[in-house]
Amino acid sequence: MAERAGVIASWRNRPNAPPVVPGLPIIGNLHQLKEKKPHQTFTKWSELYGPIYTIRTGASSVVVLNSTEVAKEAMIAKFSSISTRKLSKALSVLTRDKSMVATSDYGDFHKMVKRYVMSSMLGTSAQKLFRATRDMMVNNMLRTFHKLVTNDPHNPLIFRDVFKDELFRLSLIQSLGEDVGSVYVDEFGRDISKEEIFEVLVHDMMMCAIEADWRDYFPYLSWVPNKSFETKVFTTEARRNAVVRALINKQKERIARGEARMSYLDFLLKENTELTDDQLMILMSESILASADTVLVTTEWAMYEIANNPDKQERLHQEIREVCGDEAVTEEHLPRLPYLNAVFHETLRRHSPVPVLPPRFVHEDTTLAGYDVPTGTEMMINVYGCHMDDKVWDSPEDWLPERFLGGGFEAADRYKTMAFGAGKRTCAGSLQAVHIACVAIARFVQEFEWRLRDGDEGKEDTMQFTALKLHPLHVHLKPRGRM
Ligand code: HEM
């Protein structure tokens, strides 16, 4: 508490602090952030106060960064002063005090677990081992689309239902080594289905991660109970723990029978004795969650834009026809499909799945964009704001893949936008995201003509922690027939 008071005092006394967004006494700017979409409010404020400013959320001062230039300065040039995470109470509970790759502070533990996840699942070599699983996933989706269209040609289909199931299958296979259909959970006293596993490990976690506890904003009142918040977070955590433990135990039995497979869990059990059971459980939970959501968000937005822009759909289809002819698109074709690459990156820019990066903490005095930023400041990077900056992007509101063709962009560069973060904490799964999303988008367009359900144009609201489409995409698909 003394340290926190010191931080606020040092802010007041600094003549060279970033501009301050005016707020109310005690609560600061909290009342202006009531909706769970701070990225839009942050972006509006950046028009008035510039790319870097300070807000107050209760007792804490938070520096908000809204341009690619200053965000990169913080994430790359000043990383050594800003490498720790600042977690909300909900996230501290759900990640067991920073035991996930994404939520741990930069240091030996983070380097070790990031190396594990890259070597066993997400790095270039590991990705080659899961190629057949990714191909199966896309083939299954196409088969289901064909079946749905044949059975009911006039009604639109719900894209998310099909994609979500297959992505979750991939996520289970990569993380655990098995496409688990059901599992017995001791604490529940019954078998639970795959749908319920998804609810507990993905859906409930996403909803709980955005739970706000007012004590986050007034740490000096941490001793005051907040019963409804605690019940929700601790119940979600306990259910998650029970299910992940049951899944791990089931796989341990398989391994004990001598059936080793290729998976993150098999790798961790074989390679490492340093992780505690709790850490193992948290890492499994992270990998299932991380692979099951963001790629769905991106691909759903890409297909929405493609269905909404027939001329761009035609351009993409033509590129695919010219490069692949009669062959189904594969990962080997990707370097020769620049428009597809542009569609993917423009979707990441316009509809970033992570609009505000997980908050960071300044742990030694530093400067950003020439302003002083003292130790103890919290920092938010508004990726959405970086991508809506009209000094960098022409007509930023428009979805224009053409902006990524030629010019200053390297085709193979996965970090053309801030969507995957930057520097040492950059996304571990960006290669997997490219592999799945790009091949899926290309094959969907290769096999079908896409049209939005009438009246769905412009439905671009988002929900959840990631920028999931609020209105699930409903589409009419017309098989194109073989070329
Ligand atoms: C389009 C898809 C994806 C997007 C837009 C995305 C975005 C991000 C972002 C913004 C971060 C935080 C970077 C930061 O704080 O600086 C991150 C971190 C991370 N992502 Fe992704 N992600 C995607 C897919 C995936 C997938 C498929 C996985 C794994 C299966 C994954 C695993 C991770 C991990 C482990 C981290 C933590 C890295 C670290 O802290 O060093 N991501 N991702």
Identify the residue whose C-alpha is closest to ligand 1 atom 3. Answer: 294
* The predicted structure's pLDDT at residue 9: 42
Instruction: Please tell me the residue having the least CA distance from ligand 1 atom 40.
Output: 102
Residue closest by Cα to atom 42 of ligand 1: 429
Tell me the average pLDDT across 146-168: 96
Q: What is the pLDDT of residue 7?
A: 46
> Does residue 50 carry a pLDDT above 90?
yes
CA–centroid distance, residue 421 to ligand 1 (Å): 8
Where are the alpha helices (H) located in 131-192, listed in sequence order? Answer: 131-151, 159-176
Closest ligand 1 atom number to CA of residue 437: 1
| Residue 294 CA, closest ligand 1 atom number | 2
pLDDT value for 8: 47
CA distance 318 to 312: 10
Tell whether the model's pLDDT for residue 341 goes beyond 70: yes
Q: What is the band of 481 on the pLDDT scale with cuts at 50, 70, 90? A: confident
**Mean pLDDT for the stretch of residues 441-469:** 89
CA of 431 to the centre of ligand 1 (A): 10
If you average pLDDT over residues 86-110, what whole number do you get? 86
Q: How far is the CA of 357 from the centre of ligand 1 (A)?
A: 10
- At residue 483 the predicted structure's pLDDT band, cuts being 50, 70 and 90, is very low
The token pair that represents 86 in the structure block: 């600042």
Per-residue pLDDT tens digits for 263-281 = 999 999 998 668 999 999 9
Least confident of 2-6, 91-95, 451-455: 2-6
Helix, strand, coil percentages (3-state) for the chain, rounded to 5, are: 55, 10, 35
For the chain, the average pLDDT equals 90
Parse the chain into domains and list their residue ranges.
Answer: 2-104+357-387
The pick from 75, 174, 420 for probing ligand 1's pocket by mutation, whose C-beta has the most ligand atoms within 8 angstroms, reads 420
Using most ligand atoms within 8 A of CB, pick from 350, 427, 431 the residue to mutate for ligand 1.
427
The answer, yes or no, to whether residue 313 has pLDDT greater than 70, is yes
CA of 324 to the centre of ligand 1 (A): 30
Task: Band the pLDDT of 2: cuts 50, 70, 90.
Answer: very low
Distance CA 282, CA 290 (A): 12
CB atoms within 10 A of CB 177: 20
Cα 111 to ligand 1 centre (Å): 15
Residues with CB under 6 A from ligand 1: 101-102, 114, 117, 122, 287, 290-291, 294-295, 298, 353-354, 357-358, 419-421, 425-429, 432-433
pLDDT of 210 > 80? The answer is no
Q: Which listed CATH number (3.40.50.10470, 3.40.50.880, 3.40.630.10, 3.30.43.20) goes with 2-104+357-387?
A: 3.30.43.20
Instruction: Report the amino acid identity of residue 278.
Output: D
C-beta neighbour count of 195 within 10 angstroms? 12
- Which pLDDT score is estimated for 465? 62
The answer to whether residue 196 scores a pLDDT higher than 70 is: yes
Instruction: Quote the ligand 1 centre to 284 CA distance (angstroms).
Output: 15
Q: What is the pLDDT of residues 12-37, one digit of tens each?
A: 556 799 999 888 877 777 777 766 67
Q: Which of 457, 458, 452 is nearest to 478 (CA)?
A: 452
Close Cβ partners of 63 (under 8 Å, ≥ 6 residues apart)? 18, 52, 53, 54, 362, 368, 373, 377, 378, 379, 380
Q: 127 or 407: which carries more pLDDT confidence?
A: 127
Cβ-contact 40, 258 below 8 angstroms: no
Top pLDDT among 177 and 206 is at 177
Question: What are the tens digits of pLDDT across the range 427-451?
Answer: 999 999 999 999 999 999 999 999 9
427 is in an annotated binding site: yes
The mean-pLDDT minimum among 75-89, 196-210, 268-282, 456-470 falls in 456-470
The pLDDT score that the predictor gives to residue 267 is 96
CB count within 10 Å of CB 106 equals: 18
Q: Does residue 373 sit in helix, strand or coil?
A: strand
d(CA 158, CA 164): 11
Confidence of residue 161 (pLDDT cuts 50, 70, 90): very high
